[in-house]
Amino acid sequence: MSLNFTSKKVMPSTPVEGGRRGKKLILKAANDNRAPLSIQLKKFVFTLAPIAALSFFAAVWWMS
């Protein structure tokens, strides 16, 4: 007699619908090196763009 503790039904950990949830999943997937290149680039741009904009305006302010 063997005991089997695995479930026959595997429920998804996150709901399929929902824009906000999907966006979070895309951003989490970019941390995985198996994520598509477009997702990795999108996360990189979302991280780098505000920093670049702030440094640009700081440089313009400093030069004036």
Q: Which of 49, 24, 27 is nearest to 38 (CA)?
A: 27
pTM above 0.85, yes or no: no
Query: Tens of pLDDT along 26-64?
Result: 556 555 567 777 887 888 888 899 999 999 999 999 998
Cα 25 to the center of its chain, rounded Å: 6
Higher pLDDT, 12 or 61: 61
pLDDT at site 6:
56
pLDDT for position 60: 96
The CA distance from 61 to 29, in Å, is: 37
Q: What is the pLDDT of residue 53?
A: 94
